[in-house]
Amino acid sequence: MSYAEAVPVLAEATSVGTGTAIDLHRVHSDHAGQFVFEATSAGEHDEIQAGLEGSLDGVNWYGLVLFFSAGEGHPGMPFVSSVGPLVVTTGRPARYLRGRVYSLVGTASVSLIVASRA
């Protein structure tokens, strides 16, 4: 079975909190996500901890994927614009998905696009 159309769950988030929850209309057990980080100026020390959360009922949420990106000042991790790796979780059922920014240092923003399959 193929993945459904990709949907944004975080759009250039610049503060700690959750994105808009999406309803997949049925339970899916495999989820793939692409994080995109944007820093507003070079030379800043930006760090972002963000993740993808799932829920079976739209009320009780649990973590599916946690991603951390460190900006300049960390060896090998400079960025002004960076597309993070594709992250995949399997065997974690969820009907609802949302993105969450857990922490953000500096002037960066983060976006997250996800696709799921049953």
More confident residue, 53 or 5: 53
Span 29-37, mean pLDDT? 85
Task: Please report the pLDDT score of residue 78 as a whole number.
Answer: 39
Contact (Cβ atoms closer than 8 angstroms) between residue 19 and residue 112: yes
For the chain, give the percent of residues with pLDDT over 90.
Answer: 27
More confident residue, 12 or 86: 12
Sheet strands (E) in 56-108: 61-70, 81-89, 94-105
Whole-number Å distance between alpha carbons of 9 and 37: 14
Domains of the chain (ranges, CATH numbers): 7-117 (2.60.120)
Task: Please report the pLDDT score of residue 73 as a whole number.
Answer: 44
pTM for this one? 0.81
pLDDT per position as a tens digit, 68-113: 665 544 443 334 445 666 777 888 899 999 999 988 887 778 888 8
Residue 14 vs residues 11, 25, 47, 50, 61: alpha-carbon distances, Å: 9, 29, 11, 11, 22
Does the structure show a pLDDT above 60 at 55?
yes
Task: Please report the pLDDT score of residue 37 as a whole number.
Answer: 77
Task: Please report the pLDDT score of residue 87 as a whole number.
Answer: 75
Residues 6+ apart with CB under 8 A from 75: none
Contact (Cβ atoms closer than 8 angstroms) between residue 77 and residue 45: no
